[in-house]
Amino acid sequence: MNTTATPAPDAAPEQDENKLIAERREKLKGLRQSQAETGAVAFPNDFKPKDRAAQLHQAHGAIEKEAFDADIAAGKQVLASVAGRMMLKRVMGKASFATIQDATGRIQAYIARDDVGEADYAAFKHWDLGDIVAVEGHLFKTKTGELSIHATRIRLLTKSLRPLPDKFHGMQDQELKYRQRYVDLIMDEAARERFAARSRTLAAMRGFMTEHGFMEVETPMLHPIPGGANAKPFVTHHNALDQQMYLRIAPELYLKRLIVGGFERVFEINRSFRNEGISVRHNPEFTMMEFYAAYWNYQDLMTYTEDLLRATARQATGGLQLQYQGRAVDLSQPFKRLTIREAIHAHTDIGAGVDDAAELIARLKKLGLSEDKNKLSQRSLPALQVMYFEEAVESELWEPTFIMEHPTEISPLARANDQRPEVTERFELYITGREMANGFSELNDAEDQAARFQAQASAKDSGDDEAMFYDADFVRALEYGMPPTGGCGVGIDRFMMLLTDSASIRDVILFPALRHESK
């Protein structure tokens, strides 16, 4: 009886890939044997490309074929030296074509046996797509007008042991793209451009901040007390200090200590960590840009944040008229400014019910909230207004809109309004229905801050694992005196989703958090 198990229907592609990997390993084995016999190196590291594909196209792509041919005939060859991954290969007897991809783009190479030598040409025919190769020669244009390198020397620099995905379809599995970002970047030019845009955005932000007198600083990622936001932290243990530590949930309290110390304008592009849910808008580790300016209030912050995002978007994308998921977003117009109550009035039919706790509770229940889970009857009127705003209004704020005057009870670090102490001088910026920034006039009254920390500590003792700890050292810093200050945090990842028209935050994070592959 045949006891061999029948493969699952999807086993064939995996078996095919294993076969290809085995074949490539045999080729590498042959290279190593050749190395032992001739002294050649299987993985050489002495080649330095002198040119990049994009620069060659930019400098010579517009030259007509006839002009190239005339210069070559006159001995005026344009030499080129490139290295990159071989993405396409066409072997045609004594001459072949290969497409080389480097960090800037692609360029074609024409490889003829009589030009590179019989031994190298024979070796080339056994090279695989994905191999890293070097090509030296002179530029010319093919009959179809494609700028190419007429190779006079070729070398294999790195043997690729795994086959690339199908060149026409690329990687179709979205989670596989996140898990194997290195392959996604090889195959998808749009993915490479997304992250190039991210780099340009961060550079533009840094430039804008320094031009306006801000100093870039670095603050700890390991905190003895987590603070700066209402969030659940990651917990770790420091062996040498023998104490529990927390990964940073926000750099705010350290940046304000620097304002106390006399640095009047500081910013940090920081990685922060929150042990909370994962969604298309949330990743456990994320990037923010937080900045603080002495003698600014929340009105100053809104004006500056608007200018910052507008200047950054223009430099990163070339314009201010964006498209996000099929809808236009205009960053050129002044950003709207609404209080929470004004936003509720503008986007719902609640009318006078906005100031009626019973009406708000009834509407929240219709939207799916419950007394058991959300403790609606225990909420104050301002807190109920915020909940109703988040459930009914937030997603409607497509064009850039600052939402102001958050309740003091849920804003433990923000300065209360002098005329209406139940609300703070705080704003959140929404674009495409998502929070992009959060800022406020900072609380610099040490005694008020101590009382608010105490209220947060009591909430934590009552089971709120997102409430803040009491930070005695920060209170002590405020007791030395902090000038009136404004501070704001901008979510870089969400802003990049907008600038690159990306549906998920995972699309703009090179290596997003994923469940372990074995699970």
- Angle, vertex CA 136, rays to CA 133 and CA 141, nearest 5: 105
Amino acid letter, 502: S
d(CA 206, CA 221): 20
Sequence-distant (≥ 6) Cβ neighbours of residue 89 within 8 angstroms: 96, 97, 98, 99, 127, 129
Query: Is the CB of residue 406 less than 8 Å from the CB of residue 435?
Result: no
Query: Is the CB of residue 161 less than 8 Å from the CB of residue 23?
Result: no
Tokens of 134: 């070097």
Radius of gyration of the chain (CA): 30
d(CA 285, CA 272): 6
Amino acid letter, 160: S
Count of CB atoms situated within 10 Å of the CB of 283:
21
Q: Which residues pair with 158 in a beta bridge?
A: 132
Tokens of 171: 């990687």
Enclosing H/E stretch for 112: strand 105-112
- Angle, vertex CA 330, rays to CA 402 and CA 211, nearest 5: 70
Sequence-distant (≥ 6) Cβ neighbours of residue 233 within 8 angstroms: 223, 226, 246, 247, 249, 273, 274, 275
268-272 contacts at long range (C-beta below 8 A, 24 or more positions apart): 268/216, 268/217, 268/218, 268/219, 269/202, 269/205, 269/206, 269/216, 269/492, 270/219, 271/221, 272/247, 272/248
Tokens of 20: 């290809």
d(CA 445, CA 366): 40
Is 435 marked within a binding site? Answer: yes
Q: Which of 171, 142, 17, 125 is nearest to 72 (CA)?
A: 142
- For the four alpha carbons of 117, 120, 125 and 128, in that order, the dihedral sign comes to negative
d(CA 386, CA 407): 8
Binding site as annotated, residues: 428, 435
Q: Which residues are annotated as a binding site for Mg(2+)?
A: 428, 435
